[in-house]
Amino acid sequence: MRETKFIFITGGVLSSLGKGMAAASLGTLLKARGLSVTIQKLDPYINIDPGTMNPTQHGEVFVTDDGAETDLDLGHYERYLGVPLSQRNNYTSGSIYYSVITKERRGDYLGGTVQVIPHITDEIKLAICSLAENKTDVAIIEIGGTVGDIESQPFLEAIRQLRGDLGKERCLFIHLTLVPYLAAAGEHKTKPTQHSVKELRSIGIHPDIILCRCESQVSPDLKRKIAHFCDVDEDAVFSSVDVDNVYKLPLEFYKEGLDQKVAIMLRLPARNADLAAWEHLVFALSNPKDCVNIGIIGKYVSLKEAYKSLHEALVHGGIANKLKVNLTYINSEEVTADTAAGLLSGLDGILVPGGFGERGVAGKVQTVQYARENMIPFFGICLGLQCAVIEYTRNVLGLADADSEEFAADAEHKVIYLMTEWFDYHKNAKVRRDKNSDKGGTMRLGAYPCVIREGSLAFAAYGSKKISERHRHRYEVNNKYREALEAKGIIFSGLSPDGELAEMIELTDHPWFLGCQFHPEFKSTPMNPHPLFRAFIEAALKNKRSAASGSCCKMDSDSEKSFS
């Protein structure tokens, strides 16, 4: 019987070293060897999930088909592996403790004293071992945070125990650590790595492989030194170098022989990785035929990670059209009637993303008006769709006080409102939503079906009448205004199967103007760019060529970051 092999990835010295990218890249290589692979992220924070965390602190919240609000690293995993993940692929300290406390209240522990060891660590091990239920060949588990963090200790203790429970032949420890380059000294420094490994070994975990995050390749002499002081095989020290686009990383690891070493240590089948598709992808990214300038007008622009999946989906749209996509981030709070032309001119396409709260909404509404009146391809996602409905109702229908119930509870014309009763396709039943309930758990989350109108932009993009997309929002388009909006030129091109929920809108007198209530960026991958992003970038290219806007092929700093 097939036994799942487990690879645990830890990090040291500092955060944001790229454990998620390393996990996703290694998973890509193992999948290219013909193995079935799944990945899990264990986050040390106490929140049950990142759903109520500020995007400018934590980055985006990634949503899975089953409605789980998860860490953004799951987006990396899905984009690289091309497989949908679920709630079981992301656990936090909060969710682990909540499960244990619930069991204690229920009497599952028969009155015993509940402790971190064994109860918390056992719960963590159950979460990890659940990945083996589908007989997957390899499960990669990324431990969030940094070795030495107090919050991470139960997770590290749990994986230490699992090594003893399952045996060395089924568990592999990979430690990612920083090897900084000091320009003044003209050399890489290994002390941070040595101290990080020492910290890891002090809690009983001896890494089998060390990944050295560095600006350039670590020399063979330095690898020998790290191997000697950290007690690992000399051929088990690998460079994890900075790359100019993240999709090159699996190829860099392959050149280093990382997948081969992992296969030997875990006794995986001896196969060569077939990376032809990945090599083609990197070639396409490096050799675009043209380029477009896209503006993202949002309120979390101080941290690009807040729009990570969106960022990548736009890059994927460029791949589908053989284009380089230059991204310009604009703070929606800065967009007014006076500044819109100066900030938005020169863009080939405009995208207004999702968000929560009133801050920056006025600028988003003004952006919609500018894109509509100036015939610039417009893509509104979630709140972006809602802002489009608000703008159209105010400026075309003439209802000047039209607003969302989220921002103006007393507005006479609440064109966006909080539905209290709707059909939940996950539960296959009508449900009621309590307006006074906690912030967590009150949203429409996860994959929902949508029926597309034939002859629409959406139908042209998807080529299908029935689709499924992921949602993350509380408010909906108010059906009371749908007939009036349609009479003035809005097409409701996507609806829920029962016709009650507006999923997509378009304009009849615009080159390309589309809004969707769902988040298509969560389902886009480099190997399979999302249809709406493909169509949006194609429309932006047509707009650029018709406007004869000149050359844009010199990549700006923000677009360079989109590949890093």
Q: Is the peptide bond before 118 cis (omega within 30 degrees of 0)?
A: yes
Catalytic residue among 476, 521, 530, 538: 521
Tokens (6 digits) for 457:
């932009």
**Helices (DSSP H) in 18-92: which residue ranges?**
19-32, 55-58, 73-81
pLDDT at 54: 82
Catalytic residue among 119, 519, 530, 538: 519
Residue at token pair 């629409």: 456
In angstroms, how far is the first alpha carbon of the chain from the final one? 41
Q: Strand locations in 31-137, DSSP E?
A: 37-43, 62-63, 69-70, 90-92
Tokens (6 digits) for 400:
């000047």
Closest of 259, 208, 252 to residue 29, by C-alpha: 259
Closest of 504, 427, 518, 430 to residue 465, by C-alpha: 504
In order of start, what are the domains of the chain with their CATH numbers? 5-280 (3.40.50.300), 289-416+476-492+502-562 (3.40.50.880)
One-character DSSP codes across 356-418: -SSTTHHHHHHHHHHHHHTT--EEEETHHHHHHHHHHHHHTS--TT-EETTT-TT-S-EEEE-
Task: Note if 382 is an active site residue.
Answer: yes
Residue-wise burial string across 280-292, b where 16 or more C-beta atoms lie within 10 A, e elsewhere? ebbebbeebeebb
Task: Note if 519 is an active site residue.
Answer: yes
One-character DSSP codes across 420-431: SEEEETTTTEEE
pLDDT at 422: 65
Taking the model in full, what pTM does it have? 0.91
3-state secondary structure 292-321: EEEEEEECCCCCHHHHHHHHHHHHHHHHHC
Catalytic residue among 382, 387, 450, 516: 382
Residue at token pair 């789980």: 68
What own/partner pairs with CB < 8 Å and gap ≥ 24 does 48-54 have? 48/92, 48/94, 48/95, 48/98, 48/440, 49/90, 49/92, 49/94, 49/95, 49/440, 50/92, 51/439, 51/440, 51/443, 52/439, 52/440
Task: Note if 280 is an active site residue.
Answer: no
pLDDT at 426: 67
Residue 36: Cβ-neighbour burial (10 angstroms; 0-12, 13-18, 19+): middle
**Helices (DSSP H) in 463-553: which residue ranges?**
482-487, 531-547
Closest of 91, 13, 19, 89 to residue 48, by C-alpha: 91
Residue 192: Cβ-neighbour burial (10 angstroms; 0-12, 13-18, 19+): middle
pLDDT at 435: 57
Evaluate whether 61 touches 472 at the Cβ level (below 8 Å). Answer: yes
Mean pLDDT of successive 10-residue stretches along the chain, which has 564 residues? 88 88 96 96 93 83 94 95 94 96 93 93 96 91 93 96 94 96 86 95 96 91 95 95 92 96 95 94 94 95 89 97 96 95 95 91 96 97 97 95 92 88 69 56 86 97 97 94 95 95 96 97 97 98 80 43 33
